[in-house]
């Protein structure tokens, strides 16, 4: 399998509502979509989003490094997916988002040649038993805004079937966040409710948060302290916390997971393709977490389209069990690049939404063209 044509689309898609995090407020999604055509005429799709505070990659760095990588590897014969990232690494250091994007598109092509869906291929690759109908994936829904809006939205969305939730914390005084969480947990009793501080808390506030009786109903607290925190701080937080500790920005691959397992300082992790460098690497991480009795949350960066959502869902369907839910971020976009975008059905994503071939979805050319970032154009390689 050889690449004969590649096109890179720099996209900007507005969000339905701004999403406020400790380090940034996101009003529009900046994401990069890759289209590959191989020597048999098959088309493969990949995607990676801008994430300067998570991967260090901006729109321009993503575009430049993806083009750089493509020009140096496009003439190779792509036979063994397990060697894809090794080939990338020979010509480009780091840049996990770029490698994830290219690997996604190549795996889309590879599984179309094999005439199987990507999720089934991943199960085969990792020697998991054959499965015809994987369990539905629970969709994790983020809620935010004023306390009144949060409570109103939670009530409405719960009627729609959502049972997995994320509350952003770290922007308000610690006691205000604790009171918000108590109020929401009372409305969402019995559900999987989590918080995410994106590393905004210091250790003292994180301990206060995790030891408060008002937060005891949380299923987990994600990345309360900075990824730059010391080993001692992570261990102390885990030691004192009354609720499970999840990590996100601290986890970029197997090495970090093994380190935190050794430290006994977490209960699970959020996996994103742009952090690990691709689907295969994310599957390795998920397997390692599962083997050690740790929980998994799968997530797309805020915000990616149904292309990335479908690829990440393939990982979830391949795993078969995602106890901390799937953060599918295309649900926050005003529109998607796919004519029939993935969406929650009674709070879950089922396999029937994906075409049983490759990643299972494809964008519309017209929408891609209309969504280009102002001042940018399609890059052909």
The rounded percent of the chain whose pLDDT value lies above 70 is 100
99: confidence class by pLDDT, cuts 50, 70, 90: very high
Mean pLDDT of the chain: 96
Rounded mean pLDDT of 167-171?
Answer: 95
pLDDT at 249: 97
pLDDT at 265: 97
Rounded mean pLDDT of 87-114?
Answer: 97
pLDDT at 144: 87
Rounded mean pLDDT of 341-369?
Answer: 97
pLDDT at 21: 79
Rounded-to-integer distance, Cα 135 and Cα 241, Å: 32
pLDDT in tens, 28-83: 999 999 999 999 999 999 999 999 989 999 999 999 999 999 999 999 999 999 99
pLDDT at 19: 86
Residue 145 has pLDDT above 90, yes or no: no
pLDDT in tens, 298-308: 999 999 999 99
Give residues with Cβ within 8 angstroms of 165, minimum separation 6: 140, 141, 142, 143, 154, 184, 188, 191, 192, 193, 194
Report yes or no on whether pTM surpasses 0.75: yes
Q: Nearest to residue 101, comparing CAs of 276, 274, 313? A: 274
pLDDT at 20: 83
Residue 137 has pLDDT above 90, yes or no: yes
pLDDT in tens, 14-39: 999 988 877 778 899 999 999 999 99
pLDDT in tens, 223-260: 999 999 999 999 999 999 999 999 999 999 999 999 99
pLDDT at 22: 72
Rounded mean pLDDT of 327-349?
Answer: 97
């Amino acid at each position: 399998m050889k690449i004969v044509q590649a096109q890179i689309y720099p996209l900007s898609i507005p969000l339905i509502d701004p999403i406020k995090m400790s380090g940034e407020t996101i009003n529009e999604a900046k994401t990069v979509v890759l289209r590959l055509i191989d020597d048999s005429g098959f088309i493969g799709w990949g995607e990676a989003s801008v994430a300067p505070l998570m991967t260090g990659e901006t729109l321009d760095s993503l575009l430049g490094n993806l083009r750089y990588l493509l020009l140096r590897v496009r003439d190779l014969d792509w036979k063994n997916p397990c060697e894809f990232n090794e080939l990338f690494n020979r010509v480009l250091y780091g840049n996990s988002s770029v490698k994830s994007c290219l690997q996604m598109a190549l795996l889309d092509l590879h599984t179309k040649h094999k005439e199987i869906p990507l999720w089934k291929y991943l199960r085969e690759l990792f020697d998991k038993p054959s499965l015809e109908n994987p369990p539905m994936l629970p969709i994790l829904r983020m809620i935010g805004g004023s306390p009144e809006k949060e409570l109103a939205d939670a009530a409405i969305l719960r009627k729609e079937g959502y049972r997995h939730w994320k509350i952003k914390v770290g922007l308000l005084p610690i006691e205000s966040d604790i009171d918000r969480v108590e109020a929401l947990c009372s409305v969402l009793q019995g559900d999987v409710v989590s918080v995410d501080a994106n590393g905004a808390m210091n250790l003292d506030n994180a301990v206060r948060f995790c030891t408060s009786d008002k937060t005891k109903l949380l299923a987990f607290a994600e990345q309360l302290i900075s990824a730059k925190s010391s080993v001692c701080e992570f261990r102390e937080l885990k030691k004192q916390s009354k609720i499970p500790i999840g990590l996100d920005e601290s986890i970029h691959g197997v090495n970090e997971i093994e380190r935190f397992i050794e430290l006994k300082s977490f209960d699970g992790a959020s996996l994103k393709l742009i952090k690990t460098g691709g689907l295969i690497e994310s599957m390795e991480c998920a397997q390692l977490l599962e083997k050690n009795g740790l929980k998994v949350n799968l997530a797309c960066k805020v915000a990616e389209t149904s292309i990335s959502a479908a690829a990440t869902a393939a990982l979830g369907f391949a795993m078969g069990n995602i106890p901390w839910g799937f953060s599918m971020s295309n649900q926050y976009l005003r529109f998607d690049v796919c004519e029939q975008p993935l969406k929650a059905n009674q709070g879950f994503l089922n396999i029937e939404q994906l075409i049983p071939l490759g990643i299972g979805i494809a964008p519309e050319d017209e929408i891609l063209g209309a969504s280009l970032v102002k001042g940018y154009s399609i890059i052909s390689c």
